[in-house]
């Protein structure tokens, strides 16, 4: 019998049903650990219902969008649950997004409400929401570590009182009397639960429609894959706005009736302190984050003793690195493979097993298709490839997105019948193990984040001195790949690499902007004038 051959189904149709069952069964158990504070399932539910009532008074209802623009803070989880209480659609947004990027996602989703934190509101959101359909902004308190030189201290960050009728502090909502019983909305398994924005081949972010069916199925999958038991803490190492954090942290914790350990944003020393305090059992995150924990000078003996099951996604692990991390963590780091459009995993290395290494390429397998998931490798004509032959990975199963938000063309292009085209190149061996060999030709994978050249090029073209721009990924020892830009300048204009890097840094998320810029006299081009990124990359 194959490791994932046993069919599984969730006993719940929607995330709301799964949450309500967790509160009923484990209301007095901790659900969130954040620094030195904890909240039970019942306490989170109380806050979420009060927030849902406030959102409802602002006109948010079934099918409306609620944007979540925070770090890994309790207010993110509370806002998420509140959205589900209303039958609304949550829109998790990368907290590294600049004003331009935030504005686009708020406008594209048509978000009616925004849940954020003080520094993001002051620095970005307050200058954006007035141009959008957002009717209510809720600002939540949070705690973070503040680093002063080599010292790290705990800092409480409070939302201000009296922010105005359209901007309210979450604390004032939570201090109100409990709302009257909320009428449960009619939500089906195929309704959209969250919109997870992911870049497309044109560089324009697209909202992947993750349905309730998608999320509850992969919550169940994570429960089966990890063997997580009730009460065993989940380390919130991945960002919650990312599909891994959304499903591999929040959804599986709800399903398992387990607490999530949140630490605002990733910092190795902070994360190590959280591990020592709350002793998490399960972790899934990017390989770069796991490496940072392993290499931190703050690491102490016994820090990782509680971690029983560790998974890594976002980028394949080199075999030599997998061996090194197992020695440090005392537990094998299993590969897991998926994407925003698949609500996290479609493939995984089974718990208790080690991934084989392909003898030809030296690649470590990303796993086998999980429960009720089918995957195949096809060539450019759509024909199935022979065992061991390279082609695009296609997947089908209950976790696959229903499409892209208000983008029927992109939805049509993404599917071959019921199979999702992943855009990743790989192969499958005779034992059913899948290997990821390459990605779509131009996509850059920086620390597990996807960066599309076109978006970076568009920002570069906004600089007055730039005539032409082309962006490629180049090898980087820490991030896997990093972004490099090539530009030519307009006649009579001058600039330098540092100025162009700063221009990009101020207009896009930190993981996207180029770390290297090369100014050239001319670009290699095709006969039709198209810039040849391939030659620049080579």
For the stretch 142-177, pLDDT in tens is: 998 876 666 678 889 999 877 888 999 999 999 998
Q: What is the pTM of this model?
A: 0.84
Tens-place pLDDT, residues 212-252:
999 999 999 999 999 999 999 999 999 999 999 999 999 99
Question: pLDDT value at position 39?
Answer: 98
Share the mean pLDDT of the chain: 91
Element (H, E) at 225: helix 212-226
Give percent above pLDDT 70 in the chain: 95
**Residue 519 pLDDT more than 50?**
yes
**pLDDT > 90: what percent of the chain?**
72
**Predicted confidence (pLDDT) per residue in 18-56, tens digit:** 999 999 999 999 999 999 999 999 999 999 999 999 999
pLDDT tops 50 at residue 434: yes
Query: Which domains, from first to last, does the chain contain?
Result: 15-29+38-187 (3.40.50.980), 444-537 (3.30.300.30)
pLDDT of amino acid 439 = 57
- Tell me the pairing of strands 282-286 and 234-235: parallel
Position 530 scores a pLDDT of 62
The pLDDT value given to residue 7:
87
Question: Coil, strand, or helix at residue 510?
Answer: coil
**Which residues does residue 195 pair with via DSSP β-bridges, in sequence order?**
209
**What pLDDT is stored for residue 449 in this prediction?**
84
Model pLDDT, residue 339: 93
Q: Which residues contact 504 (CB under 8 A, 6 or more apart)?
A: 456, 459, 460, 485, 512, 513, 514
pLDDT at 203: 59
285-327 pLDDT, tens per residue?
Answer: 988 789 889 888 899 999 999 999 999 986 667 777 788 899 9
pLDDT digits (tens, 9 = 90+) for 60-115: 999 999 999 999 999 999 999 999 999 999 999 999 899 999 999 999 999 999 99
The yes-or-no verdict on residue 360 having pLDDT over 90 is: no
Bridge partner list, 151: 148
530-to-14, 463, 471, 535 alpha-carbon distances in Å: 47, 21, 13, 12
Alpha-carbon distances, residue 15 vs 213, 220, 525 (angstroms)? 8, 11, 50
- With the CA atoms of 219, 220, 224 and 229 taken in that order, what torsion angle do they form, in degrees rounded to the nearest 10? 70
pLDDT of residue 201: 40
Confidence check: pLDDT of 200 > 50: no
167 - beta bridge partners? 137
For 338-350, what is the mean pLDDT? 96
């Amino acid at each position: 019998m194959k490791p994932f051959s046993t069919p599984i189904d969730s006993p719940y149709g929607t995330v709301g049903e799964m949450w309500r069952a967790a509160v009923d069964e484990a209301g007095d158990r901790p659900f969130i650990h954040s620094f030195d504070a904890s909240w039970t399932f019942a306490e989170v539910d109380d806050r979420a219902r009060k927030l849902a009532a406030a959102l409802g008074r602002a006109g948010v209802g079934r099918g409306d969008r609620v944007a979540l623009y925070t770090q890994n803070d309790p207010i993110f989880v509370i806002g998420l649950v509140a959205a589900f209480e209303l039958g609304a659609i949550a829109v998790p947004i990368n907290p590294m997004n600049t004003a331009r990027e935030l504005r686009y996602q708020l406008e594209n989703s048509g978000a009616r409400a925004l849940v954020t934190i003080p520094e993001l509101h002051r620095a970005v959101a307050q200058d954006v929401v007035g141009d959008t359909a957002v009717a209510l902004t809720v600002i939540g308190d949070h705690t973070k570590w503040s680093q002063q030189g080599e010292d790290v201290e705990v800092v409480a960050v409070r939302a201000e009182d009296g922010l105005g009728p359209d901007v309210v502090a979450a604390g004032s909502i939570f201090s109100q009397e409990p709302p009257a019983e909320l009428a449960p909305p009619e939500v089906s398994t195929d309704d959209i639960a969250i919109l997870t924005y992911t870049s497309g081949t044109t560089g324009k972010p697209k909202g992947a429609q993750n349905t309730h069916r998608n999320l509850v199925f992969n919550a169940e999958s994570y429960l089966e894959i990890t063997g997580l038991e009730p009460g065993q803490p989940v380390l919130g190492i991945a960002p919650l706005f990312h599909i891994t954090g959304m499903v591999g942290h929040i959804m599986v914790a709800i399903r398992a009736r387990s607490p999530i350990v949140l630490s605002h944003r990733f910092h190795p020393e902070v994360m190590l302190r959280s591990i020592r305090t709350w002793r998490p059992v399960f972790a899934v995150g990017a390989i770069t984050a796991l490496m940072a924990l392993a290499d931190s000078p703050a690491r102490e003996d016994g820090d990782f003793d509680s971690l029983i099951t560790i998974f890594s996604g976002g980028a394949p692990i080199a075999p030599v690195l997998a061996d090194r991390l197992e020695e440090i963590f005392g537990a094998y780091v299993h590969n897991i493979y998926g994407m925003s459009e698949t609500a996290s995993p479609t493939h995984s290395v089974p718990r208790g097993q080690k991934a084989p290494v392909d003898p030809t390429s030296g690649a470590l397998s990303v796993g086998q298709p999980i429960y009720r998931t089918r995957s195949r490798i096809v060539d450019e004509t759509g024909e199935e490839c022979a065992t061991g032959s390279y082609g695009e990975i296609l997947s089908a199963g209950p976790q696959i997105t229903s499409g892209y938000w208000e983008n029927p063309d992109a939805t049509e292009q993404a599917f071959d019948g019921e199979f999702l085209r992943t855009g990743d190149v790989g192969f499958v061996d005779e034992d059913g193990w899948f290997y990821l060999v390459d990605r779509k030709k131009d996509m850059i994978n920086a620390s597990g984040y996807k960066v599309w050249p076109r978006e970076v090029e568009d920002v570069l073209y906004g600089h007055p001195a730039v005539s032409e721009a082309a962006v490629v990924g180049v090898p980087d020892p820490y991030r896997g790949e990093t972004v490099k830009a090539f530009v030519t300048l307009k006649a009579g204009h001058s600039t330098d690499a540092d100025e162009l890097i700063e221009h990009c840094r101020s207009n896009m998320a930190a993981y996207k902007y180029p770390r290297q810029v090369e100014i050239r006299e001319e670009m290699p081009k095709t006969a039709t004038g198209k810039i040849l990124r391939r030659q620049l990359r080579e």
